[in-house]
Amino acid sequence: MQIWRGRVLASLLDTLSAPANVLDLGCGIGTDAVALAAAGHHVTAIDASSAMVERARARGVAAEVLSLEAAGARFGASFDAVISDFGVLNCLPSLAPVSRTLSSVLRPGGVAALVWMSRHSPVDSLACLARGRAPRRGRPEATVQGVKVPLQWWTAGAVAAALGSDFQVVCREAIGLLDPPPDVGGRPRRRTRLEPHLARLPGLRDLGDHTLLLARRRA
């Protein structure tokens, strides 16, 4: 997972000049925020979970309890970049708030790095079947620490369409294309090193465990 996270962060960092103001939407325990701060950027983080925010703050992250939908009114156009990593978008019943929030908080020319669980992931489904589990893609909900969380399985086309004419897609790529995630036996192999060379190819870029989309707000 850290290899996957590293690829996401590297893609975002390649677009930024330090020090940039970055908003972490759905920061969790603050892993991305800590890495971005270490790279010289000013990071503001939000999460709807007070427990997550508490853990992020314990790591030195400037985090607050706030929903994605409320971020635009709270901050205004004060950020050079936004990151929403590893499945936050899958927990939203609609993508409309994403477009509104990004248009509100990003300055013209600012970049959004969006990462969500892909609708189709052959390597994950095959790994589940090999272990006697039903494939997970398309399931209506997930159970996280005993709490059932509704899921939406967005396509890259749906995410790009939701961003609308305010944004230009810079790139999209598969994250976790060749090796399944750790909970179904995945671990770094030679395929992991090969993946970045294949992850942006049409026909493959939408088949990872997650999909990364970089989009820039038009001036």
Contact criterion met (CB below 8 Å) for 68 and 116: no
Contact criterion met (CB below 8 Å) for 87 and 58: no
Each residue's pLDDT tens digit, 174-196: 999 999 888 888 887 888 889 99
Contact criterion met (CB below 8 Å) for 208 and 177: yes
| pLDDT value of residue 27 | 97
pTM score above 0.75 = yes
Low-confidence ranges of the chain (pLDDT < 50): none
| pLDDT value of residue 130 | 93
With CA atoms as reference, report the closest residue to 7 among 35, 28, 30.
35
| pLDDT value of residue 145 | 67
| pLDDT value of residue 182 | 86
State how far the Cα of 119 lies from the Cα of 97, in Å rounded to an integer: 20
| pLDDT value of residue 6 | 95
Nearby residues of 36 by Cβ (< 8 Å), 6 or more positions away: 9, 12, 13, 22, 24, 43, 83
| pLDDT value of residue 100 | 94
Return the bridge partners of 172, or none. Answer: 213
State how far the Cα of 219 lies from the Cα of 127, in Å rounded to an integer: 44
**What domains, with CATH codes, occur in the chain?**
2-217 (3.40.50.150)
